[in-house]
Amino acid sequence: MFSRIAFNSLKQTTRGASKTTGHNALLGLSVATAIGSGAGLYYLDKNAAHANMEADGLHPADHPFPQKNFLGTFDHASIRRGFQVFKEVCSACHSLDLIYWRNLVGVAYTEEEARDMAAEFEYKDGPNDTGDMFMRPGKLTDPIPAPYANEEAARAANAGALPPDLSLITKARHGGVDYIYSLLTGYCDPPAGVEVREGLNYNPYFPGGAIAMAQNIFDGVVEFEDGTPNTASQIAKDVVTFLNWAAEPELDDRKKIGVKALLIFSTLTAIALWAKRNRWQTLKTRKIVFNPPKNWNKPTPPKN
Amino acid sequence: MVSGFRRALGSFTYRTFFKKESTYFTTVIASGVAFSMVFNTVFDKYWDRKTAGLKWDDIKDRYAPASE
Residues A131-154 have pLDDT tens digits of: 999 999 999 999 999 999 999 999
Q: Does this model's pTM top 0.80?
A: yes
Q: Is the pLDDT of residue B67 over 60?
A: no
Q: Do A107 and B47 touch (CB under 8 A)?
A: no
Q: What number of C-beta contacts closer than 8 Å exist between A and B?
A: 37
- Interchain proximity A77–B59, CB inside 8 Å: yes
What's the longest Cα–Cα distance across chain A? 115
The pLDDT value given to residue B65: 65
- The answer to whether the beta carbons of residues A214 and A201 sit under 8 Å apart is yes
User: Does residue A16 surpass a pLDDT of 80?
Assistant: no
Give me the phi and psi of A125, to 5 degrees please: -125, 165
CB A177 within 8 A of CB A247: no
Sign of CA dihedral A138, A143, A147, A151: negative
Q: How far apart are CA A123 and CA A143, in angstroms?
A: 9
The answer on pLDDT for A1 being more than 90 is no
Contacts of A253 in chain B (CB under 8 A): none
CA dist A163 and A151 (Å) reads 9
Q: How confident is the model at residue B17 (pLDDT cuts 50, 70, 90)?
A: very high
Report yes or no: B30 at the A interface, CB cutoff 8 Å: no
Residue A264 clears pLDDT 70, i.e. is over it: yes
Better-predicted residue by pLDDT, A262 or A292? A262
Residue A14 pLDDT: 64
CA dihedral A153, A157, A158, A161 (to 10 degrees): 20
**Best of B54, B59, B60 to disrupt the A interface by mutation (most A CBs within 10 Å)?**
B54
The residue of chain A with its CA nearest to that of B46 is A256
Q: How many residues does chain B have?
A: 68
Contact B63 A113 (CB under 8 A): yes
Closest CA to A140 of A94, A170, A106, A184: A106
pLDDT at B68 over 50: no
DSSP string of A167-228, one letter each residue: TTHHHHSTTHHHHHHHHHH---PPPTT----TT-EE-TTSTTSEESSPP---TTSS--TT--
- Measured between CA atoms, how close is A277 to chain B, in angstroms? 21
What pLDDT is attached to residue A17?
Answer: 66
